[in-house]
């Protein structure tokens, strides 16, 4: 341990800082792992230190120390981010926020909760349910992801259309800037008082500040919730039906529509099947009944076929299971690493004008064919504009070549998205993985974003290199 890091360790107290061999291999990589398409190294490096702050004051001390010592700060929540936003460099202090997990207050009448950033989303949801409330943000990764990480990526979950992204649910927040200043924004439902400062920290992956706490809008447990599944004769028919469902003013609490393709290389069964939709409404009994009456009218008009209800119930019950594949089975190795060792498996989650989704589908599938990469799934989630594409390619003889081939295919798909007027990511952020495409995404806006970054963080202490900053 270097002299100055040991001073910091002393200042923080027992077991709040690790260096050298005391750093668990887990901190080398978040959930952006070796099985993804990328030109970046597949193995991460150990950071200079890992710190576990217990309070906002601890975060201030650590950030000031890092700025003085020329070290970077990489905020770390659950480490479930899929873009390498929490991937450290060897000169970084990883700031594991999970010991900052207190609920500061819950106000059931106001429908708000003020919590520290390291609180795991599922733990917060459980606390809220005791007061007949729920957390509005419900990503697949809810059992492991934290409030701060969800704000840092401005993620979206199952209820995203009804309740908005994580950022939409933040009424106010507290964040520590690179110089140690603690900013607190007023937790108001709406405000037109100039620059909305909290937005500096929402979806910016810890590059402008470390979020230490947030006041979130929370929601009553719905009186009624009902999910059903349907299949369609083809993608265009299902997509058109969905567009009409949204246009008629319905607000599904879940919408997941996907077609699948055969992919022999996969370690799980994937076959060509009719596109399937899971649709759920939640709210008062009257709203849910009326929503289903209207939705069924649209579904019948295109001869959508109901799936057995047990399939829809199973889909809903197991919606978070996939995140456990990202738990370690041995130091630094996750179940997903083992399961996916023979394939490069990647995904692209883009936002497009609704009118462009079908032409994007055609173009993206053609691009993949040209790159020798197989599609596994194509669909929309939460609303018709938010489009997912999953792809696979066997590792073959040369793993690096395969990773690069998939990365090239993904880049080409994203060029199409930009040409069609869309955004290259609607859910997982940019991190390290897509940083090289930020000039195409933002155009001259990237220079502006960099000026703001330099003004607030001239030494580049906070998560440098992420999100193109």
Dist CA 418 CA 423 (whole Å): 6
Residue 247: name the closest of 361, 387, 384 by CA.
384
> 207 or 402: whose CB is closer to ligand FAD?
207
Q: Are strands 17-19 and 49-51 parallel, antiparallel or unpaired?
A: antiparallel
Q: Does 26 participate in binding ligand FAD (rule CB under 6 A)?
A: no
Q: Does 82 participate in binding ligand FAD (rule CB under 6 A)?
A: yes
- Other CB atoms within 10 A of residue 10 CB: 11
Q: Does 155 participate in binding ligand FAD (rule CB under 6 A)?
A: yes
Is residue 335 within 8 Å of 325, Cβ to Cβ?
A: yes
- Minimum Å gap between C-beta 398 and ligand FAD is 26
Q: Does 148 participate in binding ligand FAD (rule CB under 6 A)?
A: yes
Find the binder of ligand FAD among 44, 77, 172, 203 (CB under 6 A). Answer: 77
Contacts of 351 (CB under 8 A, 6+ apart): 385, 386, 387, 422, 423, 426
Dist CA 423 CA 420 (whole Å): 9
Find the binder of ligand FAD among 75, 172, 283, 384 (CB under 6 A). Answer: 75
> 148 or 422: whose CB is closer to ligand FAD?
148
Indicate if the alpha-carbon torsion angle 441, 443, 446, 448 is positive or negative.
negative
Q: Does 97 participate in binding ligand FAD (rule CB under 6 A)?
A: yes
Q: Does 211 participate in binding ligand FAD (rule CB under 6 A)?
A: yes
The one segment of 60-68, 143-151, 221-229, 260-268 that binds ligand FAD by CB under 6 A = 143-151
Give the binding-site size for ligand FAD (rule: CB under 6 A): 40
Residue 341 phi/psi, 5° resolution? -65, -25
> 23 or 294: whose CB is closer to ligand FAD?
23
The one segment of 61-69, 72-80, 216-224, 252-260 that binds ligand FAD by CB under 6 A = 72-80
Q: Does 373 participate in binding ligand FAD (rule CB under 6 A)?
A: no
Q: Does 85 participate in binding ligand FAD (rule CB under 6 A)?
A: yes
Dist CA 126 CA 147 (whole Å): 14
Find the binder of ligand FAD among 37, 47, 53, 81 (CB under 6 A). Answer: 81
End-to-end CA distance of the chain: 29
Dist CA 426 CA 161 (whole Å): 13
The one segment of 133-141, 278-286, 434-442, 443-451 that binds ligand FAD by CB under 6 A = 133-141
Q: Are strands 72-76 and 92-96 parallel, antiparallel or unpaired?
A: parallel
Q: Does 326 participate in binding ligand FAD (rule CB under 6 A)?
A: yes
Is residue 119 within 8 Å of 465, Cβ to Cβ?
A: no
Largest CA-CA distance found in the chain, in angstroms, rounded: 72
The one segment of 202-210, 268-276, 434-442, 448-456 that binds ligand FAD by CB under 6 A = 202-210
Dist CA 86 CA 91 (whole Å): 14
Residue 375: beta bridge partners? 391
- Burial class of residue 421 in the structure, from the number of CB atoms within 10 Å of its CB (0-12 exposed, 13-18 middle, 19+ buried): exposed
Q: Does 139 participate in binding ligand FAD (rule CB under 6 A)?
A: yes
Is residue 31 within 8 Å of 340, Cβ to Cβ?
A: no
Is residue 74 within 8 Å of 86, Cβ to Cβ?
A: yes
Dist CA 52 CA 16 (whole Å): 5
Q: Does 30 participate in binding ligand FAD (rule CB under 6 A)?
A: yes
**Residue for token digits 């005791």?**
130
Q: Does 337 participate in binding ligand FAD (rule CB under 6 A)?
A: no
- Minimum Å gap between C-beta 331 and ligand FAD is 18
The one segment of 38-46, 145-153, 188-196, 415-423 that binds ligand FAD by CB under 6 A = 145-153
> 76 or 232: whose CB is closer to ligand FAD?
76
> 247 or 321: whose CB is closer to ligand FAD?
321
Dist CA 402 CA 39 (whole Å): 10
**Residue for token digits 């929402």?**
202
Find the binder of ligand FAD among 113, 128, 150, 263 (CB under 6 A). Answer: 150
> 75 or 238: whose CB is closer to ligand FAD?
75
- Give the Cα-Cα-Cα angle 48, 323, 56 (nearest 5 degrees): 45
Q: Does 395 participate in binding ligand FAD (rule CB under 6 A)?
A: no
Q: Does 86 participate in binding ligand FAD (rule CB under 6 A)?
A: yes
The one segment of 73-81, 178-186, 217-225, 304-312 that binds ligand FAD by CB under 6 A = 73-81
- Minimum Å gap between C-beta 10 and ligand FAD is 24
C-alpha distances in angstroms, 323 versus 5, 79, 140?
34, 11, 7
Q: Does 74 participate in binding ligand FAD (rule CB under 6 A)?
A: yes
Find the binder of ligand FAD among 22, 221, 236, 322 (CB under 6 A). Answer: 322
Q: Does 145 participate in binding ligand FAD (rule CB under 6 A)?
A: yes
Q: Does 466 participate in binding ligand FAD (rule CB under 6 A)?
A: yes
Footprint on this chain of ligand FAD (rule: CB under 6 A): 30-31, 74-82, 85-86, 97, 117, 139-141, 145-146, 148-150, 152-153, 155-157, 205-206, 210-211, 322-323, 326, 427-428, 431, 463, 466
């Amino acid at each position: 341990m270097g002299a100055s890091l040991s001073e910091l360790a002393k200042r923080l107290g027992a077991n709040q800082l690790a260096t050298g061999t005391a750093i668990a291999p887990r901190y080398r990589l978040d959930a952006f792992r070796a099985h993804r398409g990328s030109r970046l190294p597949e193995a991460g490096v150990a950071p200079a230190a890992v710190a576990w702050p217990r309070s906002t004051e601890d975060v201030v001390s650590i950030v000031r120390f890092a700025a003085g010592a020329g070290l970077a700060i990489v905020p770390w929540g659950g480490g479930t981010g899929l873009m390498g936003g929490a991937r450290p460099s060897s000169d970084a202090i990883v700031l594991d926020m999970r010991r900052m997990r207190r609920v500061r207050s819950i106000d059931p009448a106001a429908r708000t909760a003020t919590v520290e950033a390291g609180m795991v989303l599922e733990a917060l949801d459980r606390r809220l349910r005791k007061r007949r409330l729920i957390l509005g943000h419900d990503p697949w990764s809810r059992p492991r992801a934290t409030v701060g990480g969800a704000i840092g990526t401005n993620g979206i979950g199952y209820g995203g259309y009804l309740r908005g992204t994580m950022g939409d649910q933040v009424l106010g927040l507290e964040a520590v800037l690179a110089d140690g200043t603690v900013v607190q924004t007023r937790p108001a439902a709406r405000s037109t008082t100039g620059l909305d400062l909290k937005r500096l920290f929402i979806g910016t992956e810890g590059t402008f500040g470390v979020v230490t706490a947030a006041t979130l809008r929370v929601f009553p447990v719905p009186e009624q919730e009902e999910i059903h599944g349907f299949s369609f004769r083809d993608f265009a028919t299902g997509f058109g039906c969905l567009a009409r469902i949204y246009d008629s003013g319905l607000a599904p609490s879940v919408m997941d529509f996907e077609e699948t393709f055969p992919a022999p290389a996969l370690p799980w069964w994937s076959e060509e099947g009719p596109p399937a939709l899971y649709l759920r409404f939640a709210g008062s009994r009257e709203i849910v009944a009326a929503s289903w009456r209207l939705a069924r009218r649209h579904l019948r008009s295109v001869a959508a076929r109901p799936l057995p209800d047990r399939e829809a119930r199973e889909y809903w019950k197991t919606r978070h299971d996939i995140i456990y594949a990202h738990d370690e089975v041995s130091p630094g190795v996750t179940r997903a690493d083992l399961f996916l060792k023979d394939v490069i498996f990647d995904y692209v989650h883009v936002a497009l004008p609704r009118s462009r989704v079908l032409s994007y589908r055609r173009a993206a599938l053609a691009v993949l064919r040209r790159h020798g990469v197989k599609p596994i799934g194509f669909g929309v989630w939460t609303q018709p504009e938010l489009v997912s594409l999953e792809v696979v390619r066997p590792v073959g003889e040369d793993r690096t070549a395969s990773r690069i081939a998939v990365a090239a295919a993904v880049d080409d798909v994203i060029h199409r998205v930009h040409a069609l007027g869309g955004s290259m990511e609607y859910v997982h952020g940019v991190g390290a993985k897509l940083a090289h495409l930020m000039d195409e995404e933002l155009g001259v806006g990237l220079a502006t974003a960099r000026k703001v970054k330099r003004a607030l963080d001239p030494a580049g202490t906070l998560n440098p290199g992420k999100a193109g900053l």
